[in-house]
Chains A and B, each alone.
Chain A
Amino acid sequence: MSKIQLKVQNLAKAFLLKKVFENLSFELTPGCYAILGPIGSGKSTLLSLLAGSISPDRGIITINGVSLEKRPVRAKKYLSYVPEGVHVYPFMTGHELINFIRCVKRSALSSETEKLLFEFGIKENLSQAFNQMTVETQRKCLIAAATLGNPDIYIFDQPTQELSDEAKDTLAEYLLTLQDKKIVIIVSSDMNFVNSLEAKKLSLDLNSLC
């Protein structure tokens, strides 16, 4: 079995004239990491790059030794990404989303997902379309869907946004069980949540994440 590892080498990304990263390199092993930095420092951009949602201008991202650029499908199988906001077709039902991701990741409905759906209390809401759900239910649905396929790396952008305190506790409890085995990367403005995870705090700037 390969070692769980996320490696970034000389990553560069710019939007028009604004450089977000110039020569960013770091390596992560299993554990929980919270990325901190001022607004506009590129935290969400970094997560999008790590998830393969956008492409870097330069640099290499390898997930468990697999290059995200050269073998994106294989590399993306190792990770799950929950972006900020809800970027799902509004007419899609919760069931449809979960079945689609199961189909994409070729995985069965895991007991972890079932448990999270139950603890979030959204099992009955899965037959609703996303545009009929509350924002909290939408977020819960996306978080539960992220557990499908037993990924090695979890990437969450503002996961507690719109979540109730009870749901935040459920999520924190779940993430704590993953800490030793998986890499969990979080960007969150909710410092209580970050502290409850005992996450390693990494500060992001143009050239470093430390």
Chain B
Amino acid sequence: MRNRSVTHKLLSYRLQWYYELILEKIKRSKSIVIFFAILMLAPFGLFDAFLVQPIINIGYPKFPTFSIVFFMLILQAVFLFWVKIQEEAVSAPAVKKYFNALPISSFKHYLVNMTVLLVANNILWIPFLVALFKAPYSVMTDFIDQLLFVLNISALITSIFAMQLQWLYRHYYAFIFLLMVDLLLYVSYIIQNELYSFILSLSALILAALFVFPWRFQFAISKILSAKKRRKACQKSN
């Protein structure tokens, strides 16, 4: 019970910190915020043209060319920029020095970071949701196409979220693996076989998800390795 309350308290402080800092930033740069809001919500549809349509194209490309990968890279860059401009509010570096020295497990810190990041991304998820509703399901001939669309979008969202997390933790090496998600998705588009496409899209999603919970992944790997070592040691002693 107490452990749970530590995480809850930590989360509530972090969310309050985020809210106060963002509010202050918005107040300071009010005109820029209003300009972007008008640009996005304008009737000539910048929101649709620059965000929703590219996402739909990534999920279900009519003509899969390598440009899809660039679309993905641009989206990922936008999300990374979004985190960069909010970094002080999201990761609260001003209090890290003190709170990191307290006996709180790194996994709890990680959960809190993840939740704050989800909250910080709120606005940017909207085009993804719109894309999910506006997707041309009627054009998608069978269930597999629809499934692939949802799978591709999920892999993209997961890879973006993983990239943001790894950026906050300064684990830049993870980007190499996460960029492989884009390549896996691209190969899944150009491949003709539906089963292979499905497997590739699913692997892209799993690869991205591994970097959302890297400790769990590392823990599992280290357990497997130590079990192997133990087995070898037993064999030697026998």
Stretch of A10-18, A75-83, A160-168, A191-199 on the interface side: A75-83
List which B1-32 residues lie within 8 A (CB) of chain A. 2, 5-6, 9, 13, 16-17, 20
Q: A91 contacts which chain B residues (CB < 8 A)?
A: 16-17, 20
Distance from A13 Cβ to chain B, minimum over Cβ atoms (Å): 15
Asked whether B17 lies within 8 Å of A76 as measured between CB atoms, the reply is: no
Contact of A88 among B5, B16, B95, B105 (CB under 8 A): B95
Contact A72 B95, beta carbon cutoff 8 Å: no
B171 → chain A closest CB, angstroms: 13
Interface segment, A19-27, A32-40, A51-59, A115-123? A51-59
* A108 in contact (CB, < 8 A): no
The count of chain A contact residues (Cβ–Cβ below 8 Å) is 25
**How far is B104's CA from A72's CA once the two chains are assembled, in angstroms?**
8
Question: Do the beta carbons of A54 and B6 come within 8 Å of each other?
Answer: no
- CB-CB contacts of A65-85 with B at 8 A, as 1s and 0s? 000000011101101010100
Complex: A67 Cα to B86 Cα, angstroms: 34
Contacts of A174 in B (CB 8 A): none
How far in angstroms is the closest Cβ of chain B from A62?
A: 16
**What 0/1 readout, one digit per residue, does chain B (69-97) give for beta carbons within 8 Å of chain A?**
00000000000000000000000101111
Interface flag for A48 (CB, 8 Å): yes
- Measured CB to CB, the closest approach of chain A to B2, in angstroms, equals 6
Whether A101 pairs with B95 at a CB distance below 8 angstroms is no
The chain A residue sitting closest to B103, CB to CB, is A76
CB of A133 to closest CB in B, whole Å: 15
Chain A residues with Cβ below 8 Å from B5 are 103
Is B44 positioned at the interface, with any CB of A under 8 Å from its CB? no
Whether B20 pairs with A73 at a CB distance below 8 angstroms is: no
- A54-B100, A87-B97 as given contacts; A72 in contact with B105, CB under 8 Å: yes
- When distances are taken between beta carbons in the complex, the residues of chain B under 8 Å from A77 are 103
Bound-state Cα–Cα, A104 to B8, Å: 12
CB < 8 Å neighbour of B102 from A89, A104, A142 = A104
Contact of B105 among A73, A81, A100 (CB under 8 A): A73
